[in-house]
Amino acid sequence: MGGGTLVSGKVVINKTDIPNAVVYLLPDGNATPPISPMERTMIQEELQFSPAFSIVTTGSTLYFENRDDKIHNVRSNSPSNRFDIGTHLPNTIKKIVLKNRGIVGIQCKVHPEMTAMIFVSPSMHYAKTDSKGRFEIHAVPPGRYTIETWHHSLTRRERAAGRKKVDVGDQAESVSLTFTAKGGLEKNVKGIIKQNWDKEVKLIQDALEKAFSRWQKKKHTSATTKVMRTQSSLYKESGLRNAIAKSLGEPRALAHEKQFDNIRKGVQGLKGEVAPSNLRKEIDALVSDLKKDTKVIKGP
């Protein structure tokens, strides 16, 4: 970029120089900063995303290129940019548009160990800190700005407490940004990327409610199919089963399998005559147990 002023500085959290923090400038007042959307490609190869972390501006197009010989399904449950690209075959490219600012945790639905992050910047004037916490934002037009920082260890309130005002003129500006992260720097960035399983459990609950309703109407075959598909797609294929097994152990994941099987046998008529209240208890118990487990997986 030509013209403009250099704004540089350092980001310190809990008295530690912080790499991979995002720093960006927003003009003061109600002015909306001009944004030029970008095009970026995220490659899926050897069951990994590359790059694992990148920055784009709002409105940017993100391409997913599958170079693996396996099928992927990339999605994000981030509130700012929720998406699911569906089945992604080998040697194909899919794309999405990231319309809103904020952090976007990305994960493969088929391979939950595949994770990545995108930070969607609301400003063209941004930078990522280096290994010593230093940053440089080039070609900033003169004016008064608020300089903000994002890092996975900081809460929204902690980020707000550390933001600063900066007047940009003809001379280079140097800014020191200091934060306190009460949760500590050891906070796992995987917690941002990790699937929020609450949505999956709600889908399981709704699907089992439909199965129960069909069973009460004597539509036993339809009810049985619904339970089996729920177990297969929403519990297994979504990655929820693997997440439970990884965090709480394989026996816990198998226990849920048995719960699903008992419900299926009930609606299928393999357990003889079943009282509606008993089948209801089995469904409620499974949903309750899944909710407890996902709460443990998410952490405090």
pLDDT score recorded for residue 289: 95
pLDDT score recorded for residue 124: 94
Residue 238 pLDDT exceeds 60: yes
Which of 61-70, 144-153, 163-172, 193-202 has the lowest average pLDDT?
193-202
| Confidence class for position 1, pLDDT limits 50, 70, 90 | very low
Domain boundary pick from 144, 159, 191: 191
CATH code for position 113: 2.60.40.420
Do 91 and 109 lie in one domain? The reply is yes
pLDDT score recorded for residue 3: 72
Do 240 and 144 lie in one domain? The reply is no
Average the pLDDT over 78-107 and give the result: 90
Average the pLDDT over 131-138 and give the result: 95
| Confidence class for position 237, pLDDT limits 50, 70, 90 | low
Q: Which residue has the higher pLDDT, 248 or 204?
A: 204
Which range marks the domain in which residue 242 is found? 196-298
Structural domain tally of the chain?
A: 2
Do 129 and 268 lie in one domain? The reply is no
pLDDT score recorded for residue 8: 97
Domain boundary pick from 129, 164, 191: 191
Do 186 and 202 lie in one domain? The reply is no
Q: Which residues pair with 233 in a beta bridge?
A: none
Q: Tokens standing for 186?
A: 């050891």
Do 120 and 209 lie in one domain? The reply is no
| Confidence class for position 122, pLDDT limits 50, 70, 90 | very high
Residue 195 pLDDT exceeds 60: no
| Confidence class for position 78, pLDDT limits 50, 70, 90 | confident
pLDDT score recorded for residue 189: 52
Residue 291 pLDDT exceeds 70: yes
Do 44 and 167 lie in one domain? The reply is yes
Q: Tokens standing for 168?
A: 């940009």
User: Rounded mean pLDDT of the chain?
Assistant: 89
Residue 191 pLDDT exceeds 80: no
Do 60 and 174 lie in one domain? The reply is yes
Report the alpha-carbon distance of residue 172 to residue 136 in Å, rounded: 10
Report the alpha-carbon distance of residue 43 to residue 48 in Å, rounded: 8
CA 261 to centroid of chain Cα atoms: 31
Q: Which residue has the higher pLDDT, 82 or 205?
A: 205
Average the pLDDT over 180-203 and give the result: 71
Residue 102 backbone zone (phi > 0: left; psi -120 to 50: alpha; other: beta): left
Residue 96 pLDDT exceeds 90: yes
Measured at the alpha carbon of residue 109, what is the angle toward residues 118 and 115, in degrees to the nearest 5?
Answer: 35
| Confidence class for position 279, pLDDT limits 50, 70, 90 | very high
Do 112 and 12 lie in one domain? The reply is yes
pLDDT tens profile 30-72:
666 788 999 999 999 999 999 989 999 999 999 999 999 999 9
Which of 23-37, 253-267, 270-284 has the lowest average pLDDT?
23-37
Q: Of 71, 62, 67, which Cα lies nearest the Cα of 43?
A: 67
| Confidence class for position 228, pLDDT limits 50, 70, 90 | very high
| Confidence class for position 97, pLDDT limits 50, 70, 90 | very high
Domain boundary pick from 128, 158, 191: 191
pLDDT score recorded for residue 300: 42
Do 187 and 248 lie in one domain? The reply is no
**Range with the largest mean pLDDT of 61-65, 74-78, 167-171:** 61-65
Report the alpha-carbon distance of residue 27 to residue 59 in Å, rounded: 19
